[in-house]
Amino acid sequence: MTRSPVKVLYIDDEENNLIAFKASFRRQYEIYTANSAAEGLKVLENLPIEVIIADQKMPQTTGVEFFKSITTTFPDPVRILLTGYTDISALADAINHGDIYRYITKPWNDLELHNSIKNAHDAYRSKIDLRNKIKELEKTNDELNRFIYSISHELRAPLVSVIGIVNLVKMEGLYHSSGEYWELIESCSSKLDYYIQKTLQYYKNNKNVTDKSEIDFKHLVNEIIELYAYSNKDTTFNININQAQKFIGDSFRIEVILGNLISNAIKYQKTSNKEKTVEISIEVNKFSAEILIKDNGLGILNEHLEKIFTQFFKSKNNQGSGLGLFIVKEALNKINGKISVSSDLDYGTTFKITIPNAT
């Protein structure tokens, strides 16, 4: 299939230059000319131009100024500047800001200009091809995410039934009637349910939609503790929440962040520790919520602190999915939040989080 000629727009206030350019290159390219920046803009609005060549020294608007003015509205065409005099500062500024691809001195050399147009068009095609590939990848990724979400959602229904049966067996006093089989079924089911929930969190967090609503941190924290501490009554929670200021934020992502961090603080306690404690402190002002979650649990090795937010990272003591803290970091990125961590194997781990207030 023969590719259509490259569409080139040449802007110059000197009519003789326009005629000479068209005569030299009309056989190789599809040429359009304009004698002012305003006329060139009209051409751009009506035709899919791929390469723009503009003279620098034009009345009213210079070539550099014209290129800067179309950077947002027409970002795709590749721009070449023709200049008959030396203006180093203007050229350097235009090149540094990406406003021009190349500059050529006048009078131009036909071969040099031809090669520049050809290279500029190659750059244009590469830009368009890359954008199309990105769109294809985004579409494929979205389809994959939706597939994973659908499968995970469908898996939860029979899994919840299995967990329900185990609970009925416990209620009827038959949990230990078959050796360790029921305990094994419960353990495997709970672990699978945990993985599925993390997968669903990951999918929902990847969506760009934000849900801005008023957050009551005291109510939210109490709900999360009730949800995650029901199976571990040994942990003491010291809660200090100061929220005199109204806070607006993404309720889903904030719940995911706090849920993962609080559940980890409960989960990774030392089995030998008789005084398991989790400290939760939240200070809300008109700009942000400053959150501190501190435990006296297992702690994290210093060499692991930079890795704990990476996907699927698991330390020797980590029996989780390796997704929890990764999801926390991704959720914070979505809402422009920040997180830092300090840890000591003797004293436990402290997470400090800052979440902007959208009021």
Higher pLDDT: 328 or 202? It is 328
Q: Which CATH architecture has domain 209-359?
A: 2-Layer Sandwich (3.30)
- Of the candidates 96, 52, 93, the residue with the CA atom closest to the CA atom of residue 74: 52
Same fold, 7-108 and 209-359: no
pLDDT at position 129 over 90:
yes
Which stretches within 268-343 are classed as H helix? 324-334
**pLDDT surpasses 60 at 318:** no
CATH architecture of 136-207: Orthogonal Bundle (1.10)
Calculate the alpha carbon distances from 5 to 121, 127, 138, 326 in Å: 10, 18, 30, 49
Q: What is the pLDDT of residue 118?
A: 93
The radius of gyration computed from the CA coordinates of the chain, to the nearest angstrom, equals 31
CA–CA gap between residue 12 and residue 40 (Å, rounded): 9
User: Which tens digits make up the pLDDT trace of 132-148?
Assistant: 999 999 888 888 877 87
What pLDDT, on the 0 to 100 scale, is given for residue 8?
95
Pairing of strands 338-344, 348-356: antiparallel
The residue ranges of every structural domain in the chain are 7-108, 136-207, 209-359
CATH architecture of structural domain 7-108: 3-Layer(aba) Sandwich (3.40)
d(CA 42, CA 32): 11
CB 186 within 8 A of CB 166: yes
What residues form DSSP beta bridges with 213?
249
* Encoded tokens for 237: 């929670």
pLDDT at 48 over 80: yes
**Contact predicate 291/338, CB 8 Å:** no
Whether residue 1 is predicted with pLDDT greater than 50 in this model: the reply is: no
Rounded Cα gap, residues 178 and 245, in angstroms: 55
**Average pLDDT of the residues of the chain:** 86
pLDDT in tens, 171-230: 888 888 877 888 888 888 877 887 787 777 777 777 766 778 999 999 999 999 988 876
| Tokens 């929902």 sit on residue | 204
Asked whether 91 and 104 are in contact (CB, 8 A), the reply is no
pLDDT at 101 over 70: yes
If you average pLDDT over each of 19-28, 143-152, 156-165, 267-276, which comes out highest?
19-28
The pLDDT of residue 90 is above 70: no
The conformation of residue 174, written as its DSSP 8-state character, comes to -
